[in-house]
Amino acid sequence: MIAIVDYGLGNLFSLKSSLDFIGLDTIITNDKSEIKKAKSIILPGVGAFRDAIGKLKEKELDNVIIDEVKNGKILLGICFGMQLLFEKSYEYGEYSGLGLIKGDISPIKNDLQNKNLKVPHMGWNNLKFKENDEILKYIKEDEYVYYVHSYYAKNCEKSILAYSDYEVSIPGIVKNENVYGIQFHPEKSGETGLNILKAFGELI
């Protein structure tokens, strides 16, 4: 069973439908005991960093997630959920994240020289591989995935498995031991996204 953490932000059902489609057993929950029983955890989400980390703390899910990771459970953060994995975010202020991956979350627009590039970074972009990993085994370099985001991970070079170019290098998939993060939406990325989720399922 994979626990998809529901902390009150984001539409989780398209993600669950994709996971169900490839045969993974999932449950959407904010129940701490269910999360502890699960074989793996997925942290999804959309919205503002301050609100999201606040919701996790309010429901006391932050410490549960951190403890389960320390116990060796595989965690996958998707899109905004990936950003929550980092140490700090500079989205409308400065906020501490879960601290499971070194680095911080910063506005894309601050680092773009070409002001004609639109933010949010929205639409299809190709993935470049930086490191080999089992989560990439069913896809090839330069396959396209679907992004929607205005902030991106920085100062995390050692954790990057795959990235996309948008003048700056956008970390697309990151990893620190048993913690994975995916910035794009695999559930909206067609067969490529499904193949990444399939590979993730085989890690559990």
Structural domains of the chain, ranges and CATH numbers in brackets: 2-203 (3.40.50.880)
pTM comes to: 0.96
Question: Residue 87: pLDDT band by 50, 70, 90 thresholds?
Answer: very high
Q: What's the pLDDT at 168?
A: 97
Is 185 a catalytic site residue? yes
Is 149 a catalytic site residue? no
Instruction: Specify the 3-state DSSP secondary structure of 35.
Output: helix
Per-residue pLDDT at 190 exceeds 90? yes
Give the pairing type, strands 160-166 and 40-43.
unpaired
Per-residue pLDDT at 39 exceeds 80? yes
d(CA 27, CA 35): 9
Q: What's the pLDDT at 48?
A: 84
- Please pick, among 68, 121, 156, 185, the residue that the annotation labels catalytic: 185
- Please pick, among 68, 149, 187, 191, the residue that the annotation labels catalytic: 187
Per cent of the chain over pLDDT 70 is 100
- Please pick, among 68, 79, 121, 149, the residue that the annotation labels catalytic: 79
Contact 45, 81 (CB under 8 A): yes
Q: Which amino acid is at 1?
A: M
**Residues 6 or more apart in contact with residue 196 via CB below 8 angstroms:** 135, 136, 138, 139, 173, 182, 186, 189
Q: What's the pLDDT at 38?
A: 98
**Residues 6 or more apart in contact with residue 147 via CB below 8 angstroms:** 121, 122, 123, 124, 125, 164, 170, 172, 183, 184, 185
Q: What's the pLDDT at 47?
A: 79
Is 143 a catalytic site residue? no
Q: What angle do CA 20, 25, 30 make, to 5 degrees?
A: 100
The residue-averaged pLDDT of 36-43 equals 98
